[in-house]
Amino acid sequence: MKKLTYILAITSLVSFAQQTPAPKQTKSILIYGGIAHLGNGKIQEQALISIQDGKIASISDGKLAKPAKHDLMIDASGKHIYPGFIAPNSTLGLVEIDAVRASDDESEVGTFNPHIRSIIAYNTESKITETARPNGVLLAQITPRGGRISGTSSIVQLDAWNWEDALVKENDGIHMRWPNSYSRSGWWAEPGGIEPNKKYDEQVKEIQDFFTNSFAYLSAKPAIKDIPYEAMKGIQEGTKTLYIQANGQKEITDAILFKKKNNIQKLVIVGGYYAFKVADLIKENNVSVLLRRVHDLPNSEDEDVNLPYKNAKLLVDKGILVGLENAGDMERMQTRNLPFYAGTCAAWGLSKEQALQLITSNTAKILGIDANYGTLEAGKSATLFISEGDALDMKSNLLIHAFIDGREISLESHQTELYQRYKKKYEQN
């Protein structure tokens, strides 16, 4: 019986594999007549976008120029064109089914694991990944979990045969969970009180000792290699970003002081729920924030119930570079809602184009891929999509074309297959 159950489980995983990756672009493409949201806060009405060899060859005003002849002409009149959305701090492709242990590769045992590379466990044929693409999420930062230092992330595009094909930027940064200065007792239905973490100073010292020892090791260049310490080289040299998960005011402050003490050049706060309380310190130290899931409840019962929705504006108004991330319960399945998080930020203070930047150009800058992604500009990757309506509004977000590096990708998924199947059933009645 166990053997049969195992076979059925494997069959169910294989039978609905991800759509076949699109072939390399060979024909020139011209998109004309659409409203182009450039991702940098600007809009181009009646845009002409020429795509050649996987790049945006040009983008111009259709009112001033006539469309040149291309192999494929796409009329986007009345429709909206966007750069591909980017999902940072994501575990897409690392876990398929939470209850099936063999499909869970998001974490490793141990406390300090900077050498763990999430990319080699990334599954390009995940069914969950293909559910994010129909809402415009075309890029993701694949990030490990667990331990104090979880490991090293990499950035991928979401239409590939294997992880090597998917790579956009390999080993971009190391992810660390800062200790909490307080802990909550009880559970969500009956929360208890808030208690101080008596081991907070000890846990911070453990982090400092690891960094001190690793930097000393790298400076000494010993003959015997220590793999975890070797992985810290990029942080010491400033070629990698240190992503620190911290939400509390004290935790964020201590993380920034840690940055200064250890001369860490690139630091991003992940989560950042109370970052607005120390916004000046964050801005002064050139730290970016990947803001935690917007569709959430406030941390405290006496807080503004709308604080999670307003958080992005509070930081943007202070001049901080802000992106949106989606870690938490059911985070892989919720990736498809990333554009609607941005839409909520627009409903609570930001303009639509500012909100769009939270999941395009801002995130691209934070991840260090803005030279090729994040905005619609000549010379950049043709990773973009066309939507019937406003892509930040779940009522009108309806993709009709999507491209990754100029390759038109499939927008089909297991859900769309079921939709078509049962649509025919009701048409027969």
112, 24: one domain: no
Domain carrying residue 330 = 85-373
Q: Residue 3's pLDDT is what?
A: 44
Determine, yes or no, domain membership for 5.
no
239, 312: one domain: yes
Average pLDDT over residues 283-307: 94
Determine, yes or no, domain membership for 44.
yes
Give per-residue pLDDT as tens, 123-152: 999 999 999 999 999 999 999 999 999 999
Determine, yes or no, domain membership for 428.
no
Determine, yes or no, domain membership for 98.
yes
- Number of structural domains (the chain) is 2
pLDDT at 7 over 60: no
**CA-to-CA distance for 46 and 33, rounded, in angstroms?**
4
Q: Residue 10's pLDDT is what?
A: 43
Helix (H, G, I), strand (E, B) or coil at 309: helix
**CA-to-CA distance for 136 and 84, rounded, in angstroms?**
6
Q: Residue 414's pLDDT is what?
A: 82
Determine, yes or no, domain membership for 6.
no
For position 28, which CATH number holds? 2.30.40.10
343, 235: one domain: yes
Determine, yes or no, domain membership for 426.
no
**CA-to-CA distance for 165 and 158, rounded, in angstroms?**
10
The helix or strand, by DSSP H or E, that contains position 310, with its residue range, turns out to be helix 307-316
pLDDT at 368 over 70: yes
**CA-to-CA distance for 414 and 158, rounded, in angstroms?**
16
73, 92: one domain: no
Average pLDDT over all residues of the chain? 92
Tell which residue, 132, 85, 10, has the closest CA to residue 414: 132
**CA-to-CA distance for 319 and 142, rounded, in angstroms?**
27
Helix (H, G, I), strand (E, B) or coil at 106: coil
pLDDT at 1 over 90: no
pLDDT at 13 over 90: no
pLDDT at 370 over 50: yes
Average pLDDT over residues 399-422: 91
Q: Residue 418's pLDDT is what?
A: 86
pLDDT at 427 over 90: no
157, 189: one domain: yes
128, 40: one domain: no
pLDDT at 4 over 50: no
66, 113: one domain: no
Q: Are 269 and 286 in contact (CB under 8 A)?
A: no
Q: Residue 188's pLDDT is what?
A: 61
Give per-residue pLDDT as tens, 72-94: 999 999 999 999 999 999 999 99
For residue 400, which amino acid is it?
I
Structure tokens at 371: 């030279």
138, 194: one domain: yes
Share of the chain above pLDDT 70, in %: 94
Q: Are 103 and 13 in contact (CB under 8 A)?
A: yes
160, 272: one domain: yes
**CA-to-CA distance for 74 and 72, rounded, in angstroms?**
7
Determine, yes or no, domain membership for 384.
no
Determine, yes or no, domain membership for 173.
yes
For position 127, which CATH number holds? 3.20.20.140
Least confident piece of the model among 33-47, 181-195, 281-295? 181-195
Q: Residue 191's pLDDT is what?
A: 65
**CA-to-CA distance for 421 and 426, rounded, in angstroms?**
9
**CA-to-CA distance for 186 and 191, rounded, in angstroms?**
5
Helix (H, G, I), strand (E, B) or coil at 148: coil
237, 301: one domain: yes
49, 162: one domain: no
Tell which residue, 96, 90, 72, has the closest CA to residue 157: 90
**CA-to-CA distance for 207 and 264, rounded, in angstroms?**
14
44, 132: one domain: no
Cα–Cα distance list, 245 to 23, 76, 268, 332, 335 (Å): 38, 41, 8, 18, 19
